[in-house]
Amino acid sequence: MKDPARTLAARQARAQRIEPLLILGFPPEWASSWTPGSAGQRPWLHQPDLKAWAAYVENVVRRYRDIVQCWEIWNEPDSPAFWEPAPDPVRYGALLKTAFVAAKRGNPRAIVVMPGVAGSGPRPDFLDALLQKGYGRWCDAISIHHYSPLAPETELARRLRHIKELCSAAHLARPIWITELSRSVQTPHGVTERVQASLLARSCIVALSEGPVEKILWFRLNDPGADPFDLEDGYGLCRDDLSPRAAFFAFRTLAVLLGRARSLGAAAPGRGIEVRTFRSAGERLAAIWSRTGPQWVGVQAHKARIQTTDLMGNSVLQSASEGTLLLRVDDAPTFVRYLPDEVRWIGALLTVSGRIDAQEGRILIEARVTNPYRTSIECPVTVRIGIDQTAEAHGTLTVKPGATKQTRLTLPLPRDDGPIHLQCKAQMRGRTIDAACELARP
């Protein structure tokens, strides 16, 4: 008998070393606890008859045991979009326990994942209740979905730490799987394709560094359509015609560099600067990015040349004066490769700030330089307003190793309206580094 299309797809995936994860759930009306008088009008979203459910799970897992090992029990049971009449951790827990026992009968090597929670909606405590009631032992991994618009360094990290705390309180050792992670690029609530790639990378790096995250799945490979106003048509790594977005290349870079990585720790060498270090495929490497706009950092790695790889997978071998690399970072993570055990990160090598003195018609400016080298430097500094103004202010700083020094400069206040954009440049061992800030008029 010819394989059904999706069975064939699972076989093809396994042939390419892709492990399918399939969802079990959604009973037909005859096997549902729904009755015509029940609240909710979708029988397939009600708890199944547990006897019929057990038979279904056991037989499906047994039938496909040669091509599918991983099974997720239901989809987002904490959301009324997928569980009626209302999300109920106790009823879901009974369904989970039944499925776990049945799946292991069908295939003792099966991996049972639960509960694929959205983490939003009327039951944000859904997973808490499941674990507190002891249902965590009826799974091999805990799965979550993450679509939050908040920064992953705060929101995703918070969720993962909370799950670790719940597991610790329940004396439960289970890995975490993020079985849906995504941001759409479509309007009006989406992000740009560049930001999508950046958020993908930052989310994956944060998740892998927080641990014990074992798997991360992006939703989805390609868009089902091309409607620019439909969020569902903007989640893909590829567009509907399979042309790749930046997120595709970012995901590939992460898979190559961090596919089997072990977290070694984190650092925060400056305001908004994130560093996560890993051991992966025999090398020590770090991902670094800035959450507060472009910044320059110093990497003291005691090597004459240091390799970096950007999010698109492009690698460059850069010279490092006195073993220190000057690196410009922004919201898209950069990987610093083949690092020794001892590395020092020096953040915010150049900052600029200012204050408008409207009465005197001038701008009072402060530029601060941090020396990342092991010897003193002479550092010329230039500040100007925007790119169309000709007025400039100049200063020179002598900065000792590892020290920070500031210079105060003034510029005339432009007569035109609007915010003031200060642009600062400094020369550091033959390299030009830059910083900027915006001042609101009083």
252 and 111 assigned to the same domain:
yes
Residues in the chain: 442
CA dihedral (225, 226, 232, 236) in degrees, to 10, reads 90
Alpha carbon distance 55, 294 (integer Å) = 57
User: What per-residue string of b and e applies to 120-145 under the rule 16 or more CB within 10 Å gives b?
Assistant: ebebeebbbbbbeeebbebbbbbbbb
Q: Which helix (H) or strand (E) holds 367?
A: strand 362-370
155 and 254 assigned to the same domain:
yes
233 and 366 assigned to the same domain:
no
Residue 378: both structure tokens together: 């002479």
pLDDT for the residue 135: 97
Q: What angle do CA 283, 289, 290 make, to 5 degrees?
A: 160
Residues 278 and 265: beta-carbon distance below 8 Å? no
87 and 214 assigned to the same domain:
yes
Residues 170 and 128: beta-carbon distance below 8 Å? no
317 and 368 assigned to the same domain:
no
Q: What does the radius of gyration of the chain's CA atoms come to, in whole angstroms? A: 27
Residue 262: both structure tokens together: 């072990």
Residue listed under structure tokens 């490497």: 285
Domain that holds residue 421: 350-439
39 and 110 assigned to the same domain:
yes
Main-chain phi, psi angles of 114, to 5 degrees = -150, 160
Q: Which residues pair with 324 in a beta bridge?
A: 300, 321
Consecutive sets of 10 residues in the chain, 442 residues long: mean pLDDT of each? 78 92 96 87 95 98 96 96 94 98 98 92 85 96 94 95 94 96 91 97 97 94 94 96 98 96 94 96 96 96 97 97 97 98 95 94 96 96 83 95 96 87 95 95 84
20 and 138 assigned to the same domain:
yes
**Which residue in 90, 78, 97, 102 sits closest to 130, CA to CA?**
90
The helix/strand/coil state of 310 is: coil
pLDDT for the residue 122: 65
Full-model pTM: 0.94
Domain final position from 346, 366, 385: 346
Per the structure, the count of domains in the chain is 3
| CB-based contacts of 373, cutoff 8 Å, min separation 6 | 298, 321, 322, 324, 401, 429
CATH for 318: 2.60.40
Alpha carbon distance 240, 82 (integer Å) = 26
pLDDT for the residue 224: 96
Q: What angle do CA 309, 296, 406 make, to 5 degrees?
A: 165
pLDDT for the residue 98: 98
**Which residue in 142, 135, 139, 112 sits closest to 21, CA to CA?**
112
Q: What angle do CA 237, 240, 242 make, to 5 degrees?
A: 60
Question: What's the one-letter identity of residue 122?
Answer: P
Orientation of helix 155-169 relative to helix 193-210, angle to 10°: 30
Alpha carbon distance 312, 412 (integer Å) = 42
Cα 174 to chain centroid, rounded: 21
81 and 214 assigned to the same domain:
yes
Cα dist. 244→3, 193, 198, 202, 205 in Å?
Answer: 30, 11, 15, 19, 21
pLDDT for the residue 188: 84
The helix/strand/coil state of 50 is: helix
171 and 247 assigned to the same domain:
yes
Q: What angle do CA 96, 99, 214 make, to 5 degrees?
A: 70
Domain final position from 260, 289, 319: 260
Q: How many CB atoms sit inside 10 A of residue 409's CB?
A: 20
Domain final position from 346, 371, 393: 346
Cα dist. 117→148, 203, 353 in Å?
Answer: 13, 17, 44
CATH for 162: 3.20.20.80
294 and 194 assigned to the same domain:
no
| CB-based contacts of 221, cutoff 8 Å, min separation 6 | 236, 237, 238
47 and 117 assigned to the same domain:
yes
